[in-house]
Amino acid sequence: GAGVSQTPSNKVTEKGKYVELRCDPISGHTALYWYRQSLGQGPEFLIYFQGTGAADDSGLPNDRFFAVRPEGSVSTLKIQRTERGDSAVYLCASSLGSGGYTQYFGPGTRLTVL
Amino acid sequence: KNEVEQSPQNLTAQEGEFITINCSYSVGISALHWLQQHPGGGIVSLFMLSSGKKKHGRLIATINIQEKHSSLHITASHPRDSAVYICASWIIQGAQKLVFGQGTRLTINP
């Protein structure tokens, strides 16, 4: 079956612009996670959804970052007024539930802010 | 100090060698994940465990809850095992979230 997909695979933008990154989880997975991975580092938690609601958004670095999952399936990570330090690979994962369930990762979106 | 620490950060070995990657965590967890990430590729979940030991092919993962330590072993290593291996702990103290180690870059030479 289809895995987690993310679009776009690459995004190059200029400092100050707004970007949206999309994640399509595996069908039926109620939990969805966003992570950020900088070069040479392990992934860093940003936010996770259980259904439509953000169960934990403590990893969002500041109020320029926002994520939604209006129908409990597709999620969009939104970054306003992008900064060069936002450049990273943004990973999405989904699982059947939260906590001790296997997470299935998407291929990531590589964001480059010039 | 990171909540999840891995060692070594880099490991180079010859084909056929037995490989061990270690992961220590400092807070309470409900589960620990071992993940594999190939260069330029996505992340694949290898194991999720909360006690004891799991085996899949040439890969073995163990966890000692009392010592807050887990290991990933690869037997009869092969060049295709070359990847970054990441351990991640599902933290249960405070907000529940997955906390990742910094990864171990493994290179197996033929």
**What is d(CA A109, CA A78) in angstroms, rounded to the nearest whole number?**
13
Q: What DSSP character marks residue A37?
A: E
In tens, the pLDDT along B56-96 reads 999 999 999 889 999 999 999 999 999 999 999 887 655 56
Tokens encoding B55? 């085996």
Q: Note whether A44 contacts B: Cβ–Cβ < 8 A.
A: yes
Give the model's pLDDT for residue B52: 93
Cα-Cα-Cα-Cα dihedral sign, residues B84, B70, B56, A27? negative
In tens, the pLDDT along A19-51 reads 999 999 999 999 999 999 998 888 999 999 999
Q: Note whether A102 contacts B: Cβ–Cβ < 8 A.
A: yes
Per the CB < 8 A criterion, the answer to whether A86 and A113 are in contact is yes
Give the model's pLDDT for residue A42: 86
Backbone dihedral angles phi then psi of residue B35, each to the nearest 5 degrees: -125, 155
CB within 8 Å: A42 and B103: yes
CB within 8 Å: B97 and A104: no
Residues of A in contact with B99 (CB under 8 A): 45
CB within 8 Å: A102 and B41: no
**Tokens 């009392």 sit on residue:** B66
Q: Note whether A110 contacts B: Cβ–Cβ < 8 A.
A: no
Question: 3-state class of A49 per DSSP?
Answer: strand
Tokens encoding B103? 């990864």
Q: How many CB pairs under 8 A join A and B?
A: 58
Q: Of B90, B81, B83, B18, which Cα lies nearest the Cα of B49?
A: B90
In tens, the pLDDT along B1-22 reads 578 999 999 999 999 999 999 9
Q: What DSSP character marks residue A26?
A: P
Q: Note whether B12 contacts A: Cβ–Cβ < 8 A.
A: no
